[in-house]
Amino acid sequence: MTKLRILRQTGGALGAQRTAAGFAVAVVALPVLTWALLAIRRPESITYEVLSYQLVVVAVAAVGGLWPAVTAALASGVLLDLLFVAPLFSIAIERPIHLVSIALSVAIAVLVSIIVDQAARRARAAEASAAEAAESASAAASAEAADQVRSALLSAVSHDVRRPLASAVAAIGGLRSTHGLTADDRSELLETAAESLDALTRLVTDLLDVSRAEAGVLAVSLSPLPVEDAVGAALEELQPWLGAVELDVDDARIIADPVLLQRVLVNLITNALRYSPAGRAITVANRRDGDRVRILVIDHGVGIPDDRRDAVFAPFQRAGDRDNTAGLGLGLALSRGFTEGMDGTLTLEHTPGGGATFCVLLRAADEGRS
């Protein structure tokens, strides 16, 4: 109740001061940037101009959230079209790609604002928890853990959002150029922009899935399912870059959600392949365990220390917490949440001889039962 009351009293995750600061950054930065770009303008510099305006939009989103970011995005689009895109000094849009560029700029601003808003809400909730239980040692530990999650989120977002964001903006900047682009060049740039925006969409989707799993509102549709079908679907999704996988699965049937189980297995197999030594196959197997079935994903890598066996399932965790090439670190957290949503468990065991074995334990679907 206290957390809810605090959030209502402040009127939003970022608050009025942050919103005002975001507008202030936009009001100051956009004219200064425009003046600087006009002073050094060259016919071939449109890509740098687009990237510069997009950087200001992202900065405004990080400071002030949604509305300042959308305002900055729209203003940037108008300034670019008015001062840097022919015909100059006219906001007429001759080519549809220019309108698409403005729309993408607004979309990116909204995505960054959503992530910043979620981080701010986590911060408010953590602060409220610490205030309520300041005298409790357990509350102090929870507050410290929340700080670590926030830091990991901001660190991951700063890297993992920036990469597809920069690629998308660069591609759109190239498409805005009217000189020297062949049809193949334009097709490649459009493909790059689409792939980058898809990556941003997946990041936001994973964040929302983690939130739903932690809140216990995950949509689950259970039905009898052969283990070999679930494993086959996961391996098919991972083609054609799938590494060496040895299968030891039979015709056992389980009670599961096919879509969620496929995502769980894709995450676990991808994780196993990433940390398995080159040339060493991983194993996917299943074993009957009473009225349940164990699905095992086994690798022979360096393994995971005992003191990190629970931590690897926390959101925003990566091996060593320093590898920023592996995404937001949500795969194992999502996999455990999805498995628990199917009335199962996901645990980590040691592989004999070295490595990690992830075990998905689900109810068996006995013959003749639905």
Q: Cβ-count burial of 127 within 10 angstroms (0-12 exposed, 13-18 middle, 19+ buried)? A: middle
Are 315 and 330 contacting, i.e. CB atoms less than 8 angstroms apart?
yes
Count of beta carbons in the 10 Å neighbourhood of residue 208? 12
Residue 267 has pLDDT above 80, yes or no: yes
Q: What pLDDT, in 10s, does the model give residues 140-151?
A: 555 554 455 555
Residue 2 has pLDDT above 50, yes or no: no
pLDDT at site 255? 95
What is 223-363's CATH superfamily? Histidine kinase-like ATPase, C-terminal domain (3.30.565.10)
DSSP strand E in the chain: where?
223-226, 245-248, 253-256, 282-289, 292-298, 345-350, 356-363
Amino acid at 107: A
Residue 245 has pLDDT above 70, yes or no: yes
Q: Cβ-count burial of 168 within 10 angstroms (0-12 exposed, 13-18 middle, 19+ buried)? A: buried
The residue to which tokens 């190239």 are assigned: 174
Burial annotation 225-261 (CB, 10 A radius, 16+ → b, else e): bebbebbebbbeebeeeebebeeebeebbbbbbeebb
User: Using CA atoms, how far apart are residues 145 and 129, in angstroms rounded to an integer?
Assistant: 12
Are 105 and 54 contacting, i.e. CB atoms less than 8 angstroms apart?
yes
User: With bands split at pLDDT 50, 70 and 90, how would you rate the model's confidence at 326?
Assistant: very low
Q: What is the mean pLDDT of the chain?
A: 75
User: With bands split at pLDDT 50, 70 and 90, how would you rate the model's confidence at 208?
Assistant: low
User: With bands split at pLDDT 50, 70 and 90, how would you rate the model's confidence at 5?
Assistant: very low
pLDDT at site 141? 52
pLDDT at site 227? 95
Closest CA to 334 of 273, 259, 226, 249: 259
User: Using CA atoms, how far apart are residues 174 and 242, in angstroms rounded to an integer?
Assistant: 33
Domain span(s) for CATH 3.30.565.10 in the chain? 223-363
Average pLDDT over residues 361-366: 92
Could you give the C-alpha distances from 31 to 48, 57, 80, 111, 299, in angstroms and in order? 16, 13, 12, 24, 55
pLDDT at site 270? 86
pLDDT at site 33? 87
Maximum alpha-carbon separation in the chain: 78
Closest CA to 160 of 321, 329, 327, 332: 327
User: Using CA atoms, how far apart are residues 77 and 54, in angstroms rounded to an integer?
Assistant: 9
Q: Can you count the helices (H) and strands (E) in the chain? A: 11, 7
pLDDT at site 344? 93
pTM value is 0.47
Q: In this predicted model, which residue has the larger pLDDT, 39 or 307?
A: 39
Q: What percent of the chain has pLDDT over 70?
A: 64
